[in-house]
Amino acid sequence: MRKLLLLLLAAVSTAASADPALTVFAAASMADALKAVNGGYPAAFKLNLGSSGTLARQMEQGGKPDVFISAAKDWADYVVAKDLVEKGSVKELIGNALVLVAPSDSPLQPFALDAKTDLPSLFKGRLSIGDPEHVPAGKYGVAALKHYGWFKPLEKRFLPGMSVRDALMVVELGEADMGIVYASDAASSKKVKVLAQFPADACPPIVYYCALGKGASPEAAKYQSFLLGDKAAAVFKANGFAPLAGR
């Protein structure tokens, strides 16, 4: 019994102590792309995926990533303001676009989206969207809906997800007839189809930021420059992300 206890204690304490793997806190929408990108980098990784807001909160409560990737400027600013990342390490990483998706067997067909579209009457039931309270994709989505004047009629029909990937899953399962996710999320799923893409001017620019966690190792800095390099950018692009303007 005592041996067992000691063994358990050892197992738990080594898990908490320093180890060579790079810890990356990344926005949920990065899940597949980041795994693909990391496959080309010689290091072990520990990924913690969630909505950018959730991750920023975790860092505030003592979570210590080597690299933090946020899907929105406000959460990147938030961790800077709270002094949770290395000063001056916040860099623009990659871009993305917002799309409307439906289950792949939905009768809805792709359409041209413009000011004349009557989105609220195009579908019944709920609109799956990342919780606009804290999920960047939800905030961008609300901005885009407001841009076209669809926010008021659709607000009551929101089905808010804990992260953009939750919003995607709800559409995959057919629980919502339509959802707003990133182009990269739609590209990652075979169970949804893209109905329309929001034009870039419908919402604030969607930019991912990466930053070095407070006290991150030199290895983390090396990894960050790899993320910002051309090789990683190509993989991100292949996964449905949009290159940043001016690069």
Partner 1 sequence: MSVMFFTPAELEAMRLSLLVALASALFTLPPALAVGLFLARRDFFGKSLLDGLLCLPLVLPPVTTGYLLLLCLGRRSPVGQLLEAWFGLRLSFTTAGAVLAAMVVSFPLTLRAVKIAFEMVDRRLEAAAGTLGAAPWRVFLSVTLPLALPGVLNGCLLGFARSLGEFGATITFAGNIAGETRTIPLAVYSMMQSPGREGAAMTLAAASVVIALVAMVGSEMLNRRARRKLAGGG
| Interstrand relation of 178-182 and 91-95 (parallel, antiparallel or unpaired) | unpaired
Burial state string for 178-212 with b = 16 or more CB within 10 A and e = fewer than 16: bbbbbbbbbbbbeebbebbebeeebbeebbbbbbb
Where in 103-132 is the site for partner 1 (CB under 8 A)? 126, 131
Q: Which stretch binds partner 1 (CB under 8 A): 46-54, 91-99, 215-223, 233-241?
A: 46-54
Sign of the alpha-carbon torsion through 95, 100, 106, 110: negative
| Tokens read off for 153 | 């009629």
- Residue 146 CB, shortest distance to partner 1, in Å, is 18
31 in contact with partner 1 (CB under 8 A): no
213 in contact with partner 1 (CB under 8 A): no
142 in contact with partner 1 (CB under 8 A): no
The strand pairing partners of 49, in sequence order, are 26
136 in contact with partner 1 (CB under 8 A): no
53 in contact with partner 1 (CB under 8 A): yes
**Which among 152, 130, 149 is positioned nearest to 141, based on CA atoms?**
130
35 in contact with partner 1 (CB under 8 A): no
- Residue 156 CB, shortest distance to partner 1, in Å, is 9
Give how many residues touch partner 1 by CB under 8 A: 19
**Which among 52, 44, 83 is positioned nearest to 210, based on CA atoms?**
52
Q: Which stretch binds partner 1 (CB under 8 A): 36-44, 92-100, 159-167, 201-209?
A: 159-167
CA 173 – CA 168 distance, rounded (Å): 9
- Fill in the per-residue mask, 64 to 103: x = in contact with partner 1 (CB under 8 A), - = not in contact: --------------x-------------------------
57 in contact with partner 1 (CB under 8 A): yes
- Residue 22 CB, shortest distance to partner 1, in Å, is 25
Q: Which is nearer to partner 1, 162 or 194 (CB)?
A: 162
Helices (H) and strands (E) in the chain, counts: 11, 10
170 in contact with partner 1 (CB under 8 A): yes
Edge-first strand listing for the sheet containing 192-197: 158-161, 127-130, 178-182, 98-103, 192-197
CA 24 – CA 40 distance, rounded (Å): 15
- Residue 25 CB, shortest distance to partner 1, in Å, is 14
Binding site for partner 1 (CB under 8 A): 51, 53-54, 57, 78, 126, 131, 133-134, 158-162, 170, 173-176
